[in-house]
A = this chain, B = another copy of it.
Amino acid sequence: MRAFLIVGNKAVTKPFNLNDLAGSAGRMDIICRCIAQALFISHGIRKDVEVYVLLLGEPDPPKALKIVGSEVRYMAPDERNVGGIIRRALSLNVDKKWRKSTPGVYVARKNLCDLLEELNVRYDVIYLREDGFDIRKVACMLKNPLFILGDHLGLKEEDEEIVMKYAEMIVSVSKLSLQADQCIVIVHYELDRC
């Protein structure tokens, strides 16, 4: 299995306007692209992938999403389609337990500690940061990795401290500063080659 956890620092926590993903929805466009790039190949979905999203924007943070590749139905890779699926999940009342919204898509009230405590049992936590080990040198050693990425703002200092308590390794995908969804494509590419 492979998993990704994307932290949306400004991504809103209530239903939002699908015509303004990059604006009033708090850069939800980035989250949509990350989900799509983690799940989709041409004409298919990667069944061995889970995507987690931590939404930290107003008005009701934190909320977490879980998207399970092997269960997802009726999802297309365009931002608007993924955005619609997120929006529906954010319309549900949440508590600490995962609640199903649409096939393969779950929502809960979880913060970063909750998520990592839960995921640490099943996954090796890998923090993606530009100063880490070269992905090419370590990709084939990774078993059940969970890759943690920030959005355009990266991770806040206090969130980074939490991640570092769980991270087994810091890994870099490029010397350039790339967009989060581009990092996900490269991680898949290097793991696929193993």
Contacts and interface: CB of A to CB of B under 8 A. Distances in A.
Interface size, A (range): 20 to 34
A176 to B, nearest CB: 5
A29 interface: yes
Nearest to A136: B193
Interface stretch (A1-9, A105-113, A177-185): A177-185
A21 B192 contact: no
B152 A176 contact: no
A54 B41 CA distance: 23
A170 interface: no
Interface string A130-148: 0000000000000000000
Contact of A192 (B41, B76, B77, B174): B174
B178 A41 contact: yes
Output the residue of A80, A188, A192 with the most chain B CB within 10 A.
A80
B179 A40 contact: yes
Contacts of A79: 29, 78-80
A81 B44 CA distance: 26
A177 B76 contact: no
A78 B29 contact: yes
Nearest 10 A/B pairs, CB to CB: A29-B78, A42-B177, A185-B185, A22-B78, A79-B79, A182-B185, A42-B179, A186-B189, A41-B176, A41-B178
Interface of A: 18-19, 21-22, 29, 33, 37, 40-44, 76-81, 152, 173-179, 182, 185-186, 188-189, 192
10 contacts: A19-B19, A37-B182, A41-B176, A41-B178, A41-B179, A77-B179, A80-B80, A173-B189, A186-B186, A189-B189
